[in-house]
Amino acid sequence: MLNNLIYGINNFFYENILGYINSLYEYPIKLLLLVIDLSIVIFLVAKLIKIAKYTRAWQLIKGIVFLLLATWISSICRLTILNHILEAITDWGVLALVIIFQPEIRRGLEQLGTSKFTKYFGIEKDIIVKTKEDIYKIVIAVLELSKQKIGALIVIERDIEIKDIVNTGIKIDAEVSPQILTNIFVPNTPLHDGAVIISKNKIASAACMLPLASDTDISKELGTRHRAAIGISKESDSIAIVVSEETGKISIAKDGTLIADLKEDALRKILITNVITKRFNENKQKKNIIQLLKEKRKRKTK
């Protein structure tokens, strides 16, 4: 049996692998096609694993892989009876899988080419649209917290990363949602005391510790949340939203300045202006300047 296994592996290696490598020398274009082929296969397999890993299909996929390996090994070892049985199971298993997972397969085919499907392959919607949607969700959560007079502190990271602050809290890594934001700050819950950090269009972490502003010109009436909001806005370009636990009033801290007692429209306008309009316009201007400099260099070289 061992001799059969060794013979089968050697035969497979020389006939398939070495034969294919030799053909690459004769036709170099095949090497480029091989790289493209492998890249596509690896990308699709990685995405499939990522999608299925936390679903009920994951155990099934592991079972299918085991069955295919067993069939391949039985063929190499020339275990004829076992190989025929496994091949029969594989052939009928495909039909059984189609019947059992008919709803999932149908749903997947329906989503093919739609926006729901494209996100699985990393084709996300425009970052500006996504950021705007997140701002609306944050405003909804802040207004709800304000109505219930629940204290809250939400920090929106912009260009300057604040990973050191993110690491002081509990990692969340969730999509921005009004329900999640509201529930985090419910009193007497494990995560309510501290700040929520929103980074790269996600709720990065909660219960984070922020640096407190210690300037003497800050009003003594301001609580810890307000001082923390001003502190983080001074040390970075982040924007901090504060909901007062006593009055329910909404404030925003940016560039070391606190804008107090904001209404819904003003809150939304400030966030859109500072998080989207100014930020992305500045990035576009930088790109335009870089392009102009490149064009000038090309002209000089000519």
Mean pLDDT, all residues of the chain: 78
**Statement to judge: residues 113 and 173 lie in one domain:** no
Tell whether 176 is covered by a domain. Answer: yes
User: Which among 164, 166, 149 is positioned nearest to 248, based on CA atoms?
Assistant: 149
Q: What is the pLDDT of residue 240?
A: 96
219, two tokens: 């009003």
The rounded Cα 240 to chain-centroid distance in angstroms is 23
With cut-offs at 50, 70 and 90, classify the pLDDT of residue 2. Answer: very low
Domain limits at 64?
Answer: 2-120
- The answer to whether 187 and 150 have CB atoms below 8 angstroms apart is yes
**Statement to judge: residues 182 and 235 lie in one domain:** yes
Tell whether 268 is covered by a domain. Answer: yes
Q: What is the mean pLDDT of residues 235-245?
A: 93
Query: How many domains, the chain?
Result: 2
Q: What is the mean pLDDT of residues 143-168?
A: 93
pLDDT at 128 over 70: yes
Range list of β-strands (E), the chain: 152-156, 170-175, 195-199, 202-208, 239-243, 250-254, 257-259
279, two tokens: 């930020």
pLDDT at 269 over 70: yes
Tell whether 292 is covered by a domain. Answer: no
156 class by beta-carbon count within 10 Å (0-12 exposed, 13-18 middle, 19+ buried)? buried
Q: What is the pLDDT of residue 262?
A: 93
**Statement to judge: residues 135 and 236 lie in one domain:** yes
Q: What is the pLDDT of residue 277?
A: 80
**Statement to judge: residues 75 and 220 lie in one domain:** no
Instruction: Give the SS3 label for residue 151.
Output: coil
For residues 245 and 250, what is the distance between their CA atoms, to the nearest angstrom?
10
Q: Which of 61, 89, 120 represents a domain boundary (last residue)?
A: 120
- Kindly report, residue by residue over 171-200, the tens digit of the pLDDT: 999 999 999 999 999 998 889 889 999 998
CA dist 161 to 128, 229, 280, Å? Answer: 19, 16, 16
With cut-offs at 50, 70 and 90, classify the pLDDT of residue 239. Answer: very high
Tell whether 299 is covered by a domain. Answer: no
Q: What is the pLDDT of residue 124?
A: 47
Tell me which of 55-64, 76-85, 117-126, 160-169 is least confident: 117-126
pTM (predicted TM-score): 0.59
**Statement to judge: residues 62 and 137 lie in one domain:** no
**Statement to judge: residues 281 and 146 lie in one domain:** yes
CATH no. for residue 143?
3.40.1700.10
Higher local confidence (pLDDT), 277 or 132: 132
pLDDT at 154 over 90: yes
**Statement to judge: residues 158 and 237 lie in one domain:** yes
**Statement to judge: residues 46 and 15 lie in one domain:** yes
Higher local confidence (pLDDT), 295 or 269: 269
